[in-house]
Amino acid sequence: MKPNDIPLICLPMGLCDHDVATLLDFLYDLTEALERHYTGELIRRNYPRPDAPPRGPDTDLDDPPF
C-alpha cells in the first residue's frame, strides 16, 4: 500500500468468518433502515407525480398556480 492509497473508510482487517458475517448483517440492516427511512422522500423529490405540472429551474414553489 502506498501513502496515497489511504481508504476512505478504515475496514477492520483479519476478522474471523463469524465476525465478517456479523459485520455484513449489520451493514445490510443499516442499508435497509436508511432505504426505508429516506426512500419516500427521495421518490417525492426526484420523481414528480405524472399529473403534476412541469417545473423549471426558476419555478417559485410559493407561487400558487393560476
pLDDT tens-digit profile of 42-55? 777 777 777 766 66
pTM flag (> 0.85)? no
Condensed to tens digits (0 to 9), the pLDDT of residues 8-27 reads 677 778 889 999 999 999 99
Overall average pLDDT of the 16-41 stretch:
90
Q: Where are the domains of the chain?
A: 15-44
Whether the pLDDT of residue 35 is over 80: the answer is yes
Instruction: Kindly give, in sequence order, each residue whose CB lies less than 8 Å from that of residue 55, ignoring residues fewer than 6 positions away.
Output: 48
- Dihedral sign computed on CA atoms, order 11, 6, 33, 24: negative
- Would you state the pLDDT for residue 40? 76
